[in-house]
A and B are shown apart, each in its own frame.
Chain A
Amino acid sequence: MLSFFGRSIVQKIVTLFFVSIISFLIIHLAPGEPSQIDPLNPKFTFEMVERFRKEFHLDKPLHIQYLYFYRDLFTGKTVSWKDNQSVVQKIWDRFLNSLPLFIVGTILTWTISFPIGIRSAIFRGRFFDRSATFFSYLLISIPGFFFAYILIIFVVTRFHVPVIGMETFGLGEASMPHVIMDRIWHLFLPSVLGATGGIAVLSRYVRSQMLEVEGQDYVRTAKAKGLPSEQVHYKHALRNALLPFVTMFGLILPGLIGGSVIIESIFSWPGMGRMAYEAILARDYPVILTVNFVSAVLVLAGTFISDLLYLLVDPRIRL
């Protein structure tokens, strides 16, 4: 057991090391430099550019820059090139903004897709199953930005509520319930949009898991001995079908930092995705690299947690 964890952790650290090298190389070998981002600015004289390059070690060879960057990252001293603020602080602020979207989106995904998936597995081939299948394909295929505009038009013309941004501007005097409703309306659309793809994929997955378990012999035995069908479906079949999903809790971890770029820029939501997008536009290398690094850490931690959960819940796996 311990040796498995030890090996897995060492392996993940090596992977992380290579990820850090590759992302560093991708960013720095691309043509163009951050000092050239605004060549027409009259304040940006040659001396300024030189000072800028010296300040951020851009005049050093690549491997030195790499060492400097990751030393700063691990001591938490990395600063954004754009506004000289601490990158960790910046990411943390944006993360707190993205967190409600992530939580509501995840809750929506998991609470909606399970009933749909289970029901379509039980009524396989019937009308409900077929329409659920078709709608899940529809939701997978619809471009997120297009769907966002349909929903915005619908909500704005039907309910007359503002939906762009995190809250309505200049609402200071309003009463408490009003403010809360306003926040909920603003939260609702982006999180629904974030959840749609997840609902479609997860409900299909629940359905296929459920179908597989329903085909097992012990389910037939349970039916044959005359148990009521609810008990067969929900007690015998569902419990075993749930097994793979417990481990998926680990895999949703990367979604914490993912934050959809497109949805956040449509709704002007000041979250992680939007920050990353702005950093790319401004060639703010420390922010891009840090976001990349943190998300790689989360992916690796997620797979580790899911392995761990598998060990905990599946008695067939023993090390």
Chain B
Amino acid sequence: MITADISQSDNVVPLDKAMAPKRTRLQEFWFLFRRNKLAILGMIIFFFFFFIALIGLLLTAGRHPVFDPALIRLQEKLRPPLAEPNLETLLPDEVPAFGVYLFGTDDLGRDVFARMLQGAWVSLTVGFVAVGISVLLGIFMGGIAGYYGQHQVRLDHILAIGLVFLGAAFLAMDNILFGFMFLFLGVCCALYCLSRRKTSVRRAPFNREHLLGTNVFSIDTLIMRIVDIMLCFPSFFLILTVVALLPASIYNIMIVIGLTSWMGTTRFVRAEFLSLREQDFVMAVRALGVGNFRIIFRHMMPNAIGPVLVSATIGIATAILTEAGLSFLGFGVPPPHATWGNILSDGKNFIFDAPWLTFIPGVAILIVVLSFNLFGEGLRDVLNPKLRERS
């Protein structure tokens, strides 16, 4: 009531006018971002690439696509870019769109432009899905470590999980009897843990219940040790191993890249959460009785999302490079489907006769990855108040 009175009274209005014009967060973001020319360029290429990949998906899919990436014309192989097709030797169906090979043809006479269009979608989805998985996993693990980190893992928790895993392992080894027995024991143990959640572990006289309730380590320790373990694996080698052992498919690649790159995000989110949870606004929200999930996702996450966005943007660039590297080694998406990595890998045998087969996909990967990196660095400069130039 009082505030309403003051804001309506006259002597406040000029004060309000004297202040700098109010800007929303987005406007401020744009104001800062606009000054970084390279980041703007990166963003434009980013959206352009997005657009191309979508168009490419539409134009190369279906039974009679406009650009057919799989159509083999052996009489037209290794034509340079912008070459006119030899109309006498081609069936009317086989003539490329626009009547010209925009990017030339490869050693089987396939239209490189069509293959590049098809590959754009692969690069895009691999980048986004892999990073999506890693960011979700990272936020989840980091959020738990940061918010619930002080909670202790008790001996009975470990026992329950161990029993369940043992049961699953026995089931996997076709030992059904033992498997179900251990699974049953594990579930019982878990129920037991849940039932005695509320009881506080004070200095009770020594008994068996007390032993089971011993605190072993905190959740924070557990998650950070898992991160340490994951960081011990040489990442490209691990990805290569898993992809080589699993059946070749684009989904396996996305999942594997995602599962091996969440550690950075976890660390960021944990660090942000550790500092945020001590701040007054979180205390206030908690005092109001807001639930944990609402606090995490509505109040803390928007404040912690900045570094995650930056690392995600750069992570997309890395994922695209990794996928290209895998395709180059022959472990990527299975052959009839074109990706930029395997166009380059096929083209390397003709590097002196048909340099466009190497340079077109190479430059395309370079430009896209560069734009993601520049965009990500621009975001970092804008979102990090410490790095802002004081003007």
Bind each other: yes
With A61-B173, A261-B237, A299-B231 known to touch, is A141 a contact of B244 (CB < 8 Å)?
no
Query: Are B358 and A300 closer than 8 Å at their CB atoms?
Result: no
Query: Are A149 and B244 closer than 8 Å at their CB atoms?
Result: no
Query: Are B237 and A295 closer than 8 Å at their CB atoms?
Result: yes
Task: Tell me whether B80 is interfacial, beta carbon within 8 Å.
Answer: no
Task: Tell me whether A15 is interfacial, beta carbon within 8 Å.
Answer: yes
The digit string for A296-319, where 1 denotes a CB below 8 A from any CB of B, is 100110000000000000000000
- In angstroms, Cα B329 to Cα A144, docked, is 12
Please give, as numbers and ranges, the residues of chain B lying within 8 Å of A300 by CB-CB distance: 232
Task: Tell me whether A193 is interfacial, beta carbon within 8 Å.
Answer: no
Query: Are A141 and B234 closer than 8 Å at their CB atoms?
Result: no
Please give, as numbers and ranges, the residues of chain A lying within 8 Å of B370 by CB-CB distance: 137-138, 141
Query: Are A141 and B237 closer than 8 Å at their CB atoms?
Result: no
Please give, as numbers and ranges, the residues of chain A lying within 8 Å of B321 by CB-CB distance: 141, 143
Task: Tell me whether B355 is interfacial, beta carbon within 8 Å.
Answer: yes
Dominant secondary structure of chain A at its interface with chain B: helix
Task: Tell me whether A288 is interfacial, beta carbon within 8 Å.
Answer: yes
B260 smallest CB distance to A (angstroms): 11
Query: Are A143 and B325 closer than 8 Å at their CB atoms?
Result: yes
With A140-B373, A280-B244 known to touch, is A292 a contact of B229 (CB < 8 Å)?
no
Task: Tell me whether A101 is interfacial, beta carbon within 8 Å.
Answer: no
Closest to B348 in A: A149
Complex interface: stretch among A16-24, A110-118, A239-247: A16-24
Closest to B245 in A: A30
With A15-B228, A18-B229, A299-B232 known to touch, is A277 a contact of B358 (CB < 8 Å)?
no
Query: Are A265 and B245 closer than 8 Å at their CB atoms?
Result: no
Please give, as numbers and ranges, the residues of chain A lying within 8 Å of B240 by CB-CB distance: 261, 276-277, 280
- In angstroms, Cα B317 to Cα A296, docked, is 26
Task: Tell me whether A68 is interfacial, beta carbon within 8 Å.
Answer: no
Closest to B351 in A: A149
With A15-B232, A143-B366, A153-B355 known to touch, is A262 a contact of B246 (CB < 8 Å)?
no
The count of chain B contact residues (Cβ–Cβ below 8 Å) is 44
Task: Tell me whether A146 is interfacial, beta carbon within 8 Å.
Answer: yes
Task: Tell me whether B300 is interfacial, beta carbon within 8 Å.
Answer: no
Closest to B247 in A: A31
Query: Are B373 and A141 closer than 8 Å at their CB atoms?
Result: yes
Contact of B344 among A134, A145, A277, A283 (CB under 8 A): A145
Please give, as numbers and ranges, the residues of chain A lying within 8 Å of B344 by CB-CB distance: 143, 145-146
Q: Which of B211-263 contact A (CB under 8 A)?
A: 225, 228-229, 231-234, 236-238, 240-242, 244-247
- In angstroms, Cα B233 to Cα A144, docked, is 21
- In angstroms, Cα B242 to Cα A32, docked, is 12
Query: Are A292 and B228 closer than 8 Å at their CB atoms?
Result: no
Closest to B368 in A: A141
Closest to B235 in A: A258
Task: Tell me whether B365 is interfacial, beta carbon within 8 Å.
Answer: yes
Please give, as numbers and ranges, the residues of chain A lying within 8 Å of B329 by CB-CB distance: 261-262, 265, 277
Task: Tell me whether A142 is interfacial, beta carbon within 8 Å.
Answer: yes
Task: Output the residue of B231, B246, B317 with the most chain A CB within 10 A.
Answer: B231
Q: Which of A257-299 contact B (CB under 8 A)?
A: 257-258, 261-262, 265, 273, 276-277, 280-281, 283, 288, 291-292, 295-296, 299
Please give, as numbers and ranges, the residues of chain A lying within 8 Å of B106 by CB-CB distance: none
Task: Tell me whether A254 is interfacial, beta carbon within 8 Å.
Answer: yes
Query: Are A15 and B225 closer than 8 Å at their CB atoms?
Result: yes
B97 smallest CB distance to A (angstroms): 27
Please give, as numbers and ranges, the residues of chain A lying within 8 Å of B52 by CB-CB distance: none
With A15-B225, A146-B344, A296-B232 known to touch, is A141 a contact of B366 (CB < 8 Å)?
yes
Please give, as numbers and ranges, the residues of chain B lying within 8 Å of A88 by CB-CB distance: none
With A140-B373, A145-B328, A262-B328 known to touch, is A281 a contact of B232 (CB < 8 Å)?
no
Closest to A134 in B: B38
Closest to B226 in A: A18
Please give, as numbers and ranges, the residues of chain B lying within 8 Å of A276 by CB-CB distance: 237, 240
Task: Tell me whether B369 is interfacial, beta carbon within 8 Å.
Answer: yes
Please give, as numbers and ranges, the residues of chain A lying within 8 Å of B369 by CB-CB distance: 141-143
Please give, as numbers and ranges, the residues of chain A lying within 8 Å of B355 by CB-CB distance: 153
B377 smallest CB distance to A (angstroms): 7
- In angstroms, Cα B228 to Cα A146, docked, is 32
A8 smallest CB distance to B (angstroms): 11
- In angstroms, Cα B345 to Cα A144, docked, is 12
Query: Are A281 and B244 closer than 8 Å at their CB atoms?
Result: yes
Query: Are A292 and B325 closer than 8 Å at their CB atoms?
Result: no
Please give, as numbers and ranges, the residues of chain A lying within 8 Å of B236 by CB-CB distance: 261
Task: Tell me whether A179 is interfacial, beta carbon within 8 Å.
Answer: no
Query: Are B317 and A141 closer than 8 Å at their CB atoms?
Result: yes
A249 smallest CB distance to B (angstroms): 18
Q: Which of A34-76 contact B (CB under 8 A)?
A: 61-62
Query: Are A143 and B237 closer than 8 Å at their CB atoms?
Result: no
Query: Are B362 and A146 closer than 8 Å at their CB atoms?
Result: yes
Closest to A262 in B: B325
- In angstroms, Cα B351 to Cα A149, docked, is 8
Q: A26-B241, A141-B370, A276-B240 are in contact. List 9 more A-B contacts (CB 8 A).
A: A19-B233, A31-B246, A141-B372, A141-B373, A145-B325, A276-B237, A295-B233, A295-B234, A300-B232
5 tightest CB-CB pairs across the interface, nearest first? A146-B362, A30-B245, A141-B370, A141-B369, A296-B232
Could you write out 27 A-B pairs with CB less than 8 Å apart?
Answer: A11-B225, A15-B229, A18-B229, A19-B232, A26-B242, A30-B245, A31-B247, A61-B173, A133-B38, A137-B377, A138-B366, A141-B373, A143-B321, A143-B324, A143-B341, A146-B358, A146-B362, A146-B365, A149-B348, A149-B351, A153-B352, A258-B234, A262-B328, A265-B329, A280-B245, A292-B233, A299-B234
